Amino acid sequence: MIKKIFSKVACFTAFLFLLSQFKVIAQTSKKRISTSSWKQLFNGKDLTGWKHAGKGSSEVEDGLIRGRGGMGLLYYIGGKLSNCTIRVVYKMQKFNSNSGIFIRIPIEPKEEWMPVFYGYEVQIDNHPETSDEDDHHITGTLYSLTKPLARPGKPGPEWNTMEITLDGPRTIVYVNGEKVTDYKEGDPTPERKFDFEPMKGRRPDAGYIGLQNHGEDDVVYFKEVAVKPLAKK
């Protein structure tokens, strides 16, 4: 009888121990999820937290950001971003449309050309040859500066997911899960071919970000813009 009671007590104690460990694991998992969650920069309703610079305009249409006219830039006014991953979900209106996500803009832009020359444009354009441009101008590249490692951009009206990681002086771009760009400040870049291409030189580790409206004939819809800090090394 004593052995049976002891056995039941031991089993109950073991159950309580396992239950306590489960709670610890659950709390730890919840903490990991919360610290790695994405912060949405676009609320899906209006352009709160954003400001337009340059020509044209930006608006929310059916829960999506789109530009009108151009060339202009809708930039995030919540401060400079660094050591993070930026996720952008977008689709082209036509089979191919031209736009870009700007990063590492050194100061708050007042017009559309300063970000072009002194920030980086992560290009959105699956067919740069249409504009007599080469692979250095294709979706996922740092416009005119890097050569693509892959060409995974989907035509309109399919959705694309672009993730841009700013890791100190390193910029890594994935499009639809495939790496397109892995660039570190100081890596070699080709000579400028056009006067509208960015100037050479180091970009800051932290900078403003923005969405380009290229022109009335190049409409790109943005469904999500989110950011997640990099895990501390």
Does residue 38 carry a pLDDT above 60? yes
CB 182 within 8 A of CB 148: no
**Per-residue pLDDT, 1:** 44
- Write the single-letter amino acid at 176: N
**Per-residue pLDDT, 131:** 84
**Per-residue pLDDT, 17:** 44
214-226, pLDDT tens digit by residue? 988 999 999 999 9
**With pLDDT > 90 as the criterion, what percentage of the chain qualifies?**
81
Q: What is this structure's pTM?
A: 0.84
Q: How confident is the model at residue 36 (pLDDT cuts 50, 70, 90)?
A: low
71-107, pLDDT tens digit by residue? 999 999 999 999 999 999 999 999 999 999 999 999 9
**Per-residue pLDDT, 30:** 39
**Per-residue pLDDT, 95:** 96
Does residue 189 carry a pLDDT above 90? yes
Does residue 12 carry a pLDDT above 70? no
129-168, pLDDT tens digit by residue? 988 899 999 999 999 999 999 999 999 999 999 999 999 9
H or E, element range at 124: strand 120-124
Token pair listed for 159: 């959705």
100-117, pLDDT tens digit by residue? 999 999 999 999 999 999
**Which residues have C-beta within 8 Å of that of residue 81, sequence separation ≥ 6?**
103, 166, 206, 207, 208, 209, 227
Does residue 25 carry a pLDDT above 70? no
Does residue 57 carry a pLDDT above 80? yes
Token pair listed for 135: 């692979």
Does residue 197 carry a pLDDT above 80? yes
Q: Is the dihedral of CA 165, 226, 134, 119 positive or negative?
A: negative
**Mean pLDDT, all residues of the chain:** 88
